[in-house]
Amino acid sequence: MSKETWLVVGLGNPGEKYRGTRHNVGFRVLERLAAKHGVDLKSKEDVLVGGFSLEGHEILLLLPQTFMNESGRAVAPFLKYRQIPLDHLLVVSDDLDLPPGKLRLRTSGGTGGHHGLDSIVLHVQDNGFPRIRIGIGKPPSPEAGAEHVLASFRPEERLLIDQAVERAAEGIGSFILKGPEATMREVNKDLPPA
């Protein structure tokens, strides 16, 4: 892979009210990466953004501040402004169809009904971008989906989520440096039970 610019987007909702909720694991992964690389995320219009260099690649970290369902409104203009190709956009989001802490890396595909991903697809008019999904577990009923994603993790889930956030942050670097196939083998594998 040539040394180019990557835009890594973590999905979530802004504000203290939503910190620690299931829907905000995408934010947590980017905050972990920012801390690891000494990045100060600065507020610019509808985003928090910062960057670092990884073996010559420019990595831009972006947290939309438009709320989840309008994520694309922040992502699309930034992609266009920086002239970043869609295959160099990597989105990190939660997924209620995966068990807590399970990771799934895909190079493109559907949104699974995730409103943040729906918004990005709508605004960039394509679904051909890589994404890492982090399992947050199913709600007790389909009607409880909104309440579930805006709730905090149960104590027994927190270690799994902390480990998933760390693995996802490592997976981002691996994806950029080693490519999708090698990274998928690592990120998508099931971990042995604790």
Domain ranges of the chain: 5-187
- Please provide residue 153's backbone torsions phi and psi, each rounded to the nearest 5 degrees: -75, 145
Phi-psi group of 115: left, alpha or beta (phi > 0 → left; psi -120 to 50 → alpha; rest → beta): alpha
Q: Which residues are catalytic?
A: 23
What CATH class does 5-187 carry?
A: alpha beta
Structure tokens at 57: 């690649």
Structure tokens at 85: 């190709």
pLDDT digit string (tens) for the chain, length 194 residues: 457 999 999 999 999 999 999 999 999 999 999 999 999 999 998 999 999 999 999 999 999 999 999 999 999 999 999 999 999 999 999 999 999 999 999 999 999 999 999 999 999 999 999 999 999 999 989 899 899 999 999 999 999 999 999 999 999 999 999 998 999 888 888 765 55
Pairing of strands 57-64, 5-10: parallel
pTM listed for this prediction: 0.95
